[in-house]
Amino acid sequence: MIPASVEDVQEALAEQRYVADRSLAVAIHLAIQMGRPLFLEGEAGVGKTEVAKVLSAILGEELIRLQCYEGLDVSHALYEWDYARQMLAIRLLEAGGQHAEVTDIMSRDYLIARPLLRAVEQSAAGQRPVLLIDELDRADEEFEAYLLELLSDFQVTIPEVETVKAKVPPVVVVTSNRTREIHDALKRRCIYHWIDYPDFEREVAILRQKAPNVSDDLAAELARAMQKLRAMDLFKPPGVAETLDWASAIVVLGEERLSPESVDETLGVVLKYQEDIERVRIRGVSELVVG
Ligand SMILES: Nc1ncnc2c1ncn2[C@@H]1O[C@H](COP(=O)(O)OP(=O)(O)O)[C@@H](O)[C@H]1O
Ligand SMILES: [Mg+2]
């Protein structure tokens, strides 16, 4: 169901155990109501992808995900011809003594719809799927230019076949880890929202929601240690995903509280670069534990 107000969005997010401040709820509400893409930017692991998953659950619509990568081209994102099926169709026609025409194999039946076409087709059929275009900063600028076009009219023309146009635009969530800047033109189409690392209170709240078997004391210790780690000027500061992994690791080891020993043993759950681990060890792991 579509939430009717910012408060409804906040409530729905909480029901899905997503901890959001009001500004994110406002951005989501505006994106849904105004039919504009939501552009979420922030460091890795701050909860951008999760927003799209949670929205799909809230709206009761399918999540269609396009994971971007270097070299992603339009055919992988939009549609491809199913050559194997086309060949088979030609053979069957010929086996039946018929002469196969090109038009026999240039129809929708012989297309493989990729995420963008699927989203537009579903929207043309009256649904409103959640289209996640994840980590757009990894794709090339050429692809970005194509996306700009698609996001302006949600229309796809398949030259030999048809033009499909969305009745109501899908709910689009674009994310970027900001390894490069996304063009202004694309951002201008979107409702922009920066997701920061959570502060202490929000991180404790996330732990309460996502790691309910962790005690209040341990949740507070983990959140405090995370704040300190993120202030340490590391090569790759840990995100919320790492906080949740850390909580699990401590529980798996049968510990109830953080200690210098348990921190030292589990640093590899939180930090993924040897330089960062060394830096923390040099400063002393006990610094992460004491109040
Ligand atoms: N605000 C939040 N509330 C609840 N869980 C969160 C929140 N932010 C992040 N998480 C959790 O942290 C993990 C990483 O989030 P993810 O969306 O994958 O990050 P990103 O896409 O920004 O790299 C997920 O397991 C997600 O559920
Ligand atoms: Mg992500």
| pLDDT tens column, 144-178 | 999 999 999 999 999 888 999 999 999 999 999 99
- Rounded to 10 degrees, the C-alpha dihedral 222/224/227/228 comes to -100
With pLDDT > 90 as the criterion, what percentage of the chain qualifies?
A: 89
Q: What residue owns the CA closest to ligand 1's atom 16?
A: 47
Q: Over the chain, what is the mean pLDDT? A: 95
Phi–psi pair at 277, nearest 5 degrees: -65, -45
Query: Which atom of ligand 1 is found nearest the CA of 51?
Result: 17
Task: Note whether 174 and 42 are within 8 A (CB).
Answer: no
Instruction: Note the pLDDT of residue 43.
Output: 95
Q: Is residue 291 very low, low, confident or very high in pLDDT (cuts 50, 70, 90)?
A: low
Residue 151's pLDDT is what? 93
Q: Binning pLDDT at 50, 70 and 90, where does residue 21 land? A: very high
Cα 103 to Cα 52, 79, 81, 98, 122, distances in angstroms: 39, 18, 13, 14, 25
Q: How far is the CA of 15 from the centre of ligand 1 (A)?
A: 15
Distance 40 CA to ligand 2 centre (A): 10
What's the whole-number mean pLDDT along residues 238-263?
95
Q: Which residues have any ligand 1 atom within 6 Å of their CB?
A: 17-20, 42, 44-50, 175, 206, 209-210, 240-241, 244
Of the listed ranges 23-37, 44-58, 94-108, 227-241, the one predicted with least confidence: 94-108
Which amino acid residue places its CA nearest to atom 15 of ligand 1?
47
Using DSSP bridges, classify how beta strands 191-194 and 63-67 pair: parallel, antiparallel or unpaired: unpaired
Among 240, 246, 248, name the best residue to mutate to test ligand 1's pocket (greatest count of ligand atoms within 8 A of Cβ): 240
d(CA 148, CA 187): 9
Distance 270 CA to ligand 1 centre (A): 15
Amino acid 105: pLDDT? 87
Ligand nearest to the CA of 20: 1
Q: Is 0.85 topped by the overall pTM? A: yes
- pLDDT of 159: 86
- In percent, the amount of the chain with pLDDT more than 70 equals 100
**What is the pLDDT, as a whole number, of residue 41?**
98
Segment 39-59 mean pLDDT:
97
pLDDT at 160: 82
User: Is residue 202 predicted with pLDDT exceeding 80?
Assistant: yes
Residues 269/201/19/116 CA torsion (nearest 10 deg): -60
Q: What CATH number was assigned to the domain covering residues 6-71+114-194?
A: 3.40.50.300
